[in-house]
Amino acid sequence: MNIAALFDRCATGYDRDRPKLVPCFDQFYGAAMWMIPFPSDALLRVLDLGSGTGLFAAMVAEAHPNALLHLTDISEAMLGVARQRFAGNSQVSFAVQEHLALIDESAFDLVMSALSIHHLEDESKRELFGKIFRALRPDGMFINADQALGTTPEEEADYERQWLADVAANGATAEAIEAAKARMRADRNTTLADQLRWLEEAGFREVRCRYSRARFVVYGGWKSG
């Protein structure tokens, strides 16, 4: 089953399960929001790659009410939930497309993504980082809240054990955990160090990681003006 089909199947209950399946939910998304450098009243053009149900985009829309948001995802069902979330909001647009279909240049002040880019193979991640850099306006920023691979097999095994213990403690049902594990078989996680290096190679400056807890990381970089 391809990735789009996997997420089409879970779209309806995705938001319900998210806080239980991301044990550090508040800190994780809070760190991503903290990294946004623009004033709350700024007129921003924002691209959300792999927006899914629009969970992260809704947080940004609330904090930056003047922002124009463009949400993309490969799952029509997930974007369908996002369309319902933003019904009647003319500042939000949608497109069903893959990440590497991004061809815009100097179009956005902020490109962001949450729990999506890790589905790409490493070479595709590197290619995407270059496309994101070109899509940003001068002084624009990229923020990625995502997953990272452990630096050793032992560390990766620790990440898995910690995640299983945390989600069970959070009250995730056995059904939700098994569904998440099925989706995780499509993951192509990469170490944090590699991801940061690829951003620098793409041209980003002030590349840094703001948050890290086991496999969950939040990082980003600037496109200098």
pLDDT in tens, 15-38: 898 999 999 999 999 999 999 999
Residue 67 carries which DSSP code?
Answer: -
Question: pLDDT tier at 97 (50, 70, 90 boundaries)?
Answer: very high
Exposure of 11 in the CB half-sphere (CA atoms within 13 A) = 23
Question: CB 38: neighbour CB atoms within 10 A?
Answer: 18
| pLDDT tens, residue by residue, 140-154 | 999 999 999 999 999
* Cα 174 to Cα 149: distance, rounded to the nearest angstrom: 24
Task: Assign 13 a pLDDT band (cuts: 50, 70, 90).
Answer: confident
Query: Strand 92-96 to strand 68-73: parallel, antiparallel, or no bridges (unpaired)?
Result: parallel
**Tokens 């078989």 correspond to what residue?**
185
User: Residue 1 has what pLDDT?
Assistant: 56
User: Within 13 Å and on the Cβ side, how many CA atoms surround 6?
Assistant: 15
The CATH code of domain 3-222 reads: 3.40.50.150
Please indicate, yes or no, whether the overall pTM of this predicted structure exceeds 0.85: yes
